[in-house]
Amino acid sequence: MAGLLSYGAYLPCHRLDRSEIAAVLGESGGVGARAVAGYDEDTTSMAVEAARAALMSATTRGRVQQVLLASATPAYLDKTNATLVHAALGLASQVLAVDMIGSVRSGAGALALAAQSGQRSLVVLSDLRIGLPGGSDERDGGDGAAAFLLGPDTADLPMIAEVLAQDAVSDEVLERWRLPGAVASRVWEERFAEDIYGPQAAQALTAALERAGVRPEELDHLVVAGLHARACRSVPAAVGVPAARVAADLTREVGNCGTAHPGLVLADVLDRAGPGETIAVVTVGDGASVLVLRTTAALAAVRQPHPVRDQIAEGRPSLRYATYLTWRGLLTREPPRRPDPEPPYAPPAHRRSGWKHALLAAVCTKCGTRQMPPGRVCLSCHSVDAQREESMEQVAGTVVSSTVDRLAFSPSPPILLVVVDFDGGGRLRCELTDATEADAVIGSRVEMTFRRTVTARGIHNYFWKARPLRLLRPAPAGAS
């Protein structure tokens, strides 16, 4: 069987306090917060961010043989979303990139299939959970993504966790459903599926642990994820896993991130697990799916650059509820008296995919000058057609000038415009996101992030913006 080779997780920086929802709706209470994807994020852009974290090394990136993107909230139908992740990562063209869409189970399915496939597979789980205002899905949901590279154990790309066993139960049960185009899921009353899912999850987990040769009381980490909270809570006791071994489910801090949630909690476990520790990942819904892993000594050197706990701690102060509703399209605001934004046009977007999606700058082979966007004529020595490509995706830069645009239309005004000079050369004028005016100062250090900049005339536009350092933050002194 294959193993886990690397991993990464992405939580957007925005939060909505549950008490903020309650206060606006005239209720009381509400504990903790949910993670909120920015107005310029969607499941595809978050998938790219998680995948970047999992594939920091160019060598690793070059070895990916297939990409599976799982989401219950895809940005597009009919058009593959995984090809955007594939393009943004600059992967080789002869790679299968395909979506597994529809439900939380899609993520578990992608992991299960990748573990069985002989290929080196990048599995990305990404979700954006909304619900009708005032409902539990809105309150308890979260937005985020997690990415895992699975494949055979090799000397140059060793397993950080071995897949010991898998199991699954499938059941046709009308517990949660949503018609395409509907805003919110509908669910049957919660008590109905508790007696169905609980035993199914227990059955699959018991079988998988037995096949893996791990006794329930010896399991080091149990991850149980799914949108049926009561069923999930019943699993440890039903199987005999001690409560202390149940991984923190993070729902109080960031909400339940649906398809991405099993991956998010697994990533959190991997951030801290020692060698030789066993982990069971149970995904509950439409039956149950189980993966049992054991970490190796190689894990310590391949932790993701930005741990889940740090991402949780760096959440920004709560959004206003009205801002959340506006960003999710649940509150339609008055548009400005400006022309509608332009969508991307297919032919130029396809020609320029290297720059647009993978942020490939041009470097002149005659004089070494880096230029963005790329062009055939060097801006410095004027040599023609002497350029090579260079990725800016992992290059940090410094803000040399900035301004605040209070006139431009934005779902999150005002727009911050920065001019960034990159380490090693090159300059780009672009938007600064995930930031306030206080962050847009000369001398700030920034990195680039993949975003959905706008949706115009039914077409999503994807490109890069600057943000305060996150992925490329230098490790603190003394860190391993």
Partner 1 sequence: MGSHGIRDRVAIIGMGCTPFGEHWGRSADDLLVDSTQAAVESAGMTLDDVDAFWFGTQASGVSGLSLSRVLRLNKPVTRLENMCATGSESLRNACYAVASGAYDVAMAVGVEKLKDSGYSGLAGTTIPAAGDDGRGEATAPANFSLLAPAYAKRYGVEAAELKRVLARIAWKNHMNGARNPRAQFRKEVPMEKIISAPLVAGMLGVFDCSGVSDGSAAAIVVRAEDAPRYTDKPLYIKALSFVAGAADGVSSPGYDFTTFPEVVACAEEAYRQAGVSDPREEIAMAEVHDCFTPTELVLMEDLGFSERGQAWKDVEAGVFDLDGTLPVNPDGGLKAFGHPIGASGLRMMYEAWLQLRGEAPAQRRIGSLTSTRRLAMTHNLGGGPGECVSFVGLVGAEPDA
Binding region for partner 1 (CB under 8 A): 336-339, 341-345, 347-349, 351-352, 355-356, 369, 371-373, 379-380, 400-410, 415, 417, 419, 421, 425-431, 442, 453-454, 461-465
Tell me which amino acid residue 55 is.
L
Instruction: Please report, as a single letter, which amino acid is at residue 29.
Output: G
Nearer to partner 1, 305 or 343 (CB): 343
User: What is the distance between the alpha carbons of residues 135 and 132, in angstroms, rounded to a whole number?
Assistant: 6
Tokens of 365: 């082979």
Which residue number, 30 or 414, has a Cβ lying nearer to partner 1? 414
The residue (of 191 and 338) whose beta carbon lies closer to partner 1 is: 338
Least Cβ distance, residue 82 to partner 1 (angstroms): 20
Cα–Cα distance measured from residue 415 to residue 435, given in angstroms and rounded to the nearest whole number: 10
Q: Which residues, in sequence order, are CB contacts of 93 under 8 Å at separation 6+?
A: none
In the complex, least distance from residue 366 CB atom to partner 1, rounded to whole angstroms: 16
Question: How many degrees, rounded to 5, is the angle at CA 356 between CA 393 and CA 475?
Answer: 10
Rounded least distance, CB 222 to partner 1, Å: 44
What is the nearest approach in angstroms of partner 1 to the Cβ of residue 421?
Answer: 4
Q: Where are the alpha helices (DSSP H) in 173-256?
A: 190-212, 229-239, 251-254
Specify the residue, 22 or 417, whose C-beta has the smaller distance to partner 1. Answer: 417
Identify the DSSP state of 247.
Answer: P
H/E element holding 46? helix 43-54
**Residue with Cβ nearer partner 1 (148 or 462):** 462
At its nearest, how many Å lie between partner 1 and the CB of residue 246?
Answer: 45
Cα–Cα distance measured from residue 34 to residue 130, given in angstroms and rounded to the nearest whole number: 11
Task: Round to whole Å and give the CA distance between 100 and 123.
Answer: 10
Q: Is the dihedral of CA 322, 468, 402, 428 positive or negative?
A: negative
CB neighbours (10 Å) of residue 96?
12
The string of DSSP letters for 57-84 reads SHHHHHT--EEEEEESS-S-SSS-SHHH
Q: What is the CA radius of gyration of the chain?
A: 22
Q: How far is the CB of 358 from partner 1 (least distance, A)?
A: 11
Minimum CB distance to partner 1 smaller for 148 or for 355 = 355
Which is nearer to partner 1, 3 or 90 (by Cβ)? 90
Q: At closest approach, how far in Å is the CB of 259 from partner 1? A: 27
Cβ at position 409, least distance to partner 1 in Å:
6
Q: Which is nearer to partner 1, 25 or 442 (CB)?
A: 442
Q: CB 374 → partner 1: shortest distance, Å?
A: 10
Complex with partner 1: residue 391 or 410, whichever CB lies closer: 410
* 186: β partners: 177
DSSP 259: G
User: What would the two tokens of residue 402 be?
Assistant: 């900035």
